[in-house]
Structure 1
Amino acid sequence: MKKISPHATPRKNLALAAVAALTMLPLLAHPHVADARAGGGYSMGSRGGRTYSAPAPSQTAPYGATPFQQTMTPRQMPGYGSRMPFGAGGMAMARPRHPFMNGFMGGLIGAGLFGMLFGHGMFGSGMGGSGFLGLLIQLALVFFIVRWAIRRFGGMGGNAGAAPLGNPLGGMAQAAGAPPQGRQQPVGVAITTADYQAFQQALINIQTAWSQQDVRAMQHMATPEMVSYFNNQLSSLASRGARNIVSDIRFERGDLAESWRENGFDYATVAMRYSMIDITTDMTGRVIEGDPVNRTTVTELWTFVRSAGTGSWLLSAIQQTPR
């Protein structure tokens, strides 16, 4: 009788696991059909000073939205928005520091620890760090250098977080009489029936332009930041030899989560639930992902921005709801 090796079963299981992992690779590489629409099922964009604050819950989106995975807005000080930021904690309460100070201190600490690990003291044997007295001298030197750097560059750090908020519309002059950069008016913006109709139409128009791969049309409907994300997603699809097509879009319900005025711009975050036919095809038109018959329903929070009181609303952010 042939003797069965005790290692045969584990090896067989390992081989089966490897085959299963390889089988899953295509699924991991290609997003689920429900996430193939414009935005790709990600939370991306900017909400001005409220980018890192959770939108208020609404009837359409009672659990709010997920934090941004892609945004060009630097993190601001707590309290800049009307609510605590996503995942607020001890680190979130830390005072923002000047980027030069972050790099400068990191370099000092990194160089010192590297030297100590290799037995050269904080800054190497050339500084006389072989004894305890030498170490004290080096620590004193670090103290004076840091104090000088804080005095020299500390004044620049106070406004480091405010300047990048600038202009969400990209190049449009700030409205006259607007508050200084980084200061938010605690005033809600009245949203009219015409505004709600504009939001619904923007949803349809942006998804249509996405399906047509019309980036130029998107430039008139969304901020430059959002257009750049859409363009990257379309390029990623094209590199796979694929194209996503969203059709028969039906707006089902929606409501206002919040609206506010900031730095001469009006913002409105709207929860919207809509359904669509969402398929991905290859370049020959053959469906490779999605269902051309059954509809896909999603709920997202879209944030729009416009020059205060005037102009057209532009899409500045899309956020997903928790699943």
Structure 2
Amino acid sequence: MTQITKSRRGKALVVLAAVLTLAATSVVEARPGKGGSFGSRGARTYDAPATTTTAPNAAAPMQRSATDRPAAGPAATQPGAPGMQRPGAPANRGFFGGLAGGLLGAGLIGMLLGGGFLGGMGGFASMLGLLLQVALIGGLIWMAVRFFKSRNRPAYAGAGAPLNRDGAPPRSQGGPMGGPLGGMMGGGGRAARPATTPKGVDGVGIGPSDYESFERLLREIQTAYGREDKAALRSLTTPEVISYFTEELDANAARGVVNRIEDVKLVQGDLAESWREGAVDYATVALRYSLVDYTVQRSDDAVIDGDRSKPVEAVEVWTFQRPAGGGWVLSAVQQA
């Protein structure tokens, strides 16, 4: 009876955890971008941004982007490269392929010597028992090898200290933001530390006025989305990002709902990277912010998702783009 009670209690906890997870997901995916990773970071679109205090885990890879993925390197198609098989080379049959071939050979030799196929292997029963034992031992060895390899392999390519494109350690890490963003972290008044830049490329001097722009853009983009103000969003984002936002707003309109976003407040933020490509500056910033995020029916303003009085928090990595002589606009969002 005690074991049955424990089993039922365990199942109830699993169900409760699943319900809470689904509820949290429905809130997170309501804001602009539906909790996805999209947009462009120039030449770094498919590189993991440097981790920061605000977003210590690697950002999610880009799911939607107008930027083409880089072509595979020469090693991917070079003859003799790892993972490639030379024309005419025998296939790698693995451990069990070699074992089966050996057993078959033993049976054929037994037949040639007059003992019959099964006689050559000591009888069918003994062969089957041997196969089972060898399969069990081989499986245990395979599991042990996989286990130790997984322990030694990094969890994600972008985890840990970031590297420059040439593989060398970065000259400096992105630090707490100065100005308003730095103040949120208790670091107001401190000068911003330079962000990681690839060798041979000048970094971008990010100062207090830039941090003020990033915080303002966070607030204005979120609230403009909640108002369904496409004209305002168009002035605050790149053409690619506004195209994604327009798709979402049109889908909401077709469903007869409105995603309201109010009371957006930056809680913490810091700079991950800044760099320049030609005449365009980029800055990737980790942001933790709170907002009131809920969805209502257009017909009667009844809440169908979220809470119009309870704020929630989100952590995202935003990349801003600034053309020569222009201002910052949002060019990419990634989940942290």
Q: Are the equivalent residues in 2 in contact too, given 1:43–1:67 (CA < 8 A)?
A: yes
Q: Does 1:287 align with 2:287?
A: no
Unaligned runs of 5+ in 2: 1-18, 78-197
Please name the residue that 2:11 is paired with. none
Q: Does 1:272 align with 2:287?
A: yes
The 1:242/1:184 distance shift into structure 2, 3 A limit, reads farther
Deviation of 1:92 (Å): 9.8
Q: Does 1:231 align with 2:246?
A: yes
Please name the residue that 1:40 is paired with. 34
* Partner residue of 1:191 out of 206, 209, 224: 206
Unaligned runs of 5+ in 1: 1-23, 79-90, 96-182
Please name the residue that 2:140 is paired with. none
* Partner residue of 2:272 out of 238, 249, 257: 257
Distance 1:250 1:292 in 2: 15
The 1:94/1:265 distance shift into structure 2, 3 A limit, reads farther
* Partner residue of 1:305 out of 321, 326, 330: 321
Please name the residue that 1:103 is paired with. none
Q: Does 1:203 align with 2:224?
A: no
Distance 1:235 1:209 in 2: 15
Deviation of 1:216 (Å): 1.0
Deviation of 1:293 (Å): 2.4
Matched position secondary structure for 1:194: helix
Q: Does 1:217 align with 2:232?
A: yes
Opposite residue 212 of structure 1, the aligned amino acid is: R
Distance 2:213 2:54 in 1: 18
Opposite residue 94 of structure 1, the aligned amino acid is: A
Opposite residue 290 of structure 1, the aligned amino acid is: G
Deviation of 1:63 (Å): 0.9
The 1:194/1:36 distance shift into structure 2, 3 A limit, reads same
Matched position secondary structure for 1:235: helix
Query: Could you give the per-residue CA deviations for residues 37-77 of structure 1, whole angstroms, max 9, x where no partner exists?
Result: 11111000000000010000011001121001111100125
Number of residues paired by the alignment?
197
Q: Are the equivalent residues in 2 in contact too, given 1:43–1:317 (CA < 8 A)?
A: yes
The 1:93/1:243 distance shift into structure 2, 3 A limit, reads farther
Please name the residue that 1:63 is paired with. 57
The 1:186/1:77 distance shift into structure 2, 3 A limit, reads farther
Instruction: Please provide the CA RMSD for this pair.
Output: 2.7
* Partner residue of 2:76 out of 74, 82, 94: 94
Deviation of 1:188 (Å): 1.3
Matched position secondary structure for 1:219: helix
The 1:234/1:184 distance shift into structure 2, 3 A limit, reads farther
Higher relative contact order (CA 8 A, sep 6+): 1
Q: Once the two structures are aligned, what percentage of the paired residues are identical?
A: 45
Q: Does 1:247 align with 2:262?
A: yes
Query: Could you give the per-residue CA deviations for residues 254-284 of structure 1, whole angstroms, max 9, x where no partner exists?
Result: 0000000002100000000000111000012
Distance 2:276 2:321 in 1: 9
Computing the radius of gyration from Cα coordinates, the structure with the larger value is 2
Deviation of 1:239 (Å): 1.3
The 1:288/1:46 distance shift into structure 2, 3 A limit, reads same
Deviation of 1:237 (Å): 1.1
Distance 1:231 1:187 in 2: 35
The 1:270/1:92 distance shift into structure 2, 3 A limit, reads farther
Runs of 4+ in 1 over 3 A off after TM superposition: 91-95
Q: Are the equivalent residues in 2 in contact too, given 1:60–1:272 (CA < 8 A)?
A: yes
The 1:185/1:215 distance shift into structure 2, 3 A limit, reads farther
Matched position secondary structure for 1:249: strand
Matched position secondary structure for 1:38: coil
Moved more, 34-43 or 312-321: 34-43
Distance 2:75 2:226 in 1: 42
